[in-house]
Amino acid sequence: MTSLGCEFLGRVLGAPILHPMKVLKLDLNLIMDRGARMLADALNMNNTLEILSLNYCGLTTAGSHAVLEIIIYSKSELKEFYLKGNPFKDPGVKEILHATKIN
């Protein structure tokens, strides 16, 4: 899947939540930062997702803000998220850790 696939997936998963999903695993898909942005636009107010896995998806520091938006939603049910193998670097990691602190 690419960022274009994330755009289409976002249309299905966005508000209003017509198709509630508890687990979303997109591991090893090069969605890149643009794809993360598309997912964040759809999932930033999602209250059904419990597990999000974006391992080895080519996300960089630029994509960390999109991940932050998914995590910080106050009514989020997100319990687990996986981001292994993405080159966020220090600023991106700090932003994601800040998001977990907010939520």
CATH of the domain at 95: 3.80.10.10
* DSSP conformation class of 11: H
Q: What is the pLDDT of residues 12-31, one digit of tens each?
A: 777 666 667 899 999 999 99
Contact between residue 78 and residue 47 where contact means Cβ atoms under 8 Å apart: no
- Residue ranges of alpha helices (H) inside 1-103 are 3-13, 32-43, 61-71, 89-102
The identity of residue 58, as a single letter, is G
* Mean pLDDT along residues 58-63: 94
pLDDT higher at 36 or 7:
36
Q: What is the pTM of this model?
A: 0.87
- Count of structural domains, the chain: 1
Q: How confident is the model at residue 4 (pLDDT cuts 50, 70, 90)?
A: confident
Range of the domain at 83: 3-102
**b/e sequence 61-75, b meaning 16+ C-beta within 10 Å:** bebbbbbbbbbbbee
